[in-house]
Structure 1
Amino acid sequence: MKITVYGPGCTNCVTLADHAQAAAKELGLDVEIEKVEDFAEIAKAGIMNTPGLAIDGQVKVKGRVPSIEKIKELLK
């Protein structure tokens, strides 16, 4: 499973990546986490407000940092 975090590296982007990693670990999932910081690539993914989160190429979250529990729901 691949998780992509979209954002320029701000505090919220780092927090989202940390939450995604924690959620995957709690579920016992083997995931690859990719960080995309290039604004052109972020826009290409359809994300106008960062941070964004995609799971296996499908954007699930835009413009906010969901809780670890919410990310766990998205990963199931």
Structure 2
Amino acid sequence: MKDIKVFGPGCKRCATTEDMVRAAAAKLGIEVSVEKISDMAAIARAGVMSTPGISIDGKLVHAGGLPDPVKLEGWLSA
């Protein structure tokens, strides 16, 4: 199971990013645990300077704007 964290204050892009992560994981048949992090101090500690951000198994893979769906699938498959 992959541990996914979606970082953001709760904006529409952040919610869309979380939905994209869940949909990509389902499409690939990958079990994931998705946690939404909205605490600004925790977001900054994770190194996210622009939201939404995504970390997979503790590694920050994306920050700022919606992720590219193809890249997202690649990150989940790695």
TM-score (norm 2): 0.93
Counterpart residue type for residue 46 of structure 1: G
Q: Deviations over 1:27-65 (max 9, x none)?
A: 001100000000000000011111000000100001121
> Which runs of at least 4 in structure 1 moved beyond 6 Å after TM superposition?
none
Q: Distance in 2 between matches of 1:14 and 1:67?
A: 15
Partner of 1:28: 29
Q: Any stretches of 5+ residues in structure 2 without a counterpart?
A: none
Pairwise CA RMSD: 0.8
TM-score (norm 1): 0.95
Q: Distance in 1 between matches of 2:17 and 2:69?
A: 9
Q: Any stretches of 5+ residues in structure 1 without a counterpart?
A: none
Identity %: 45
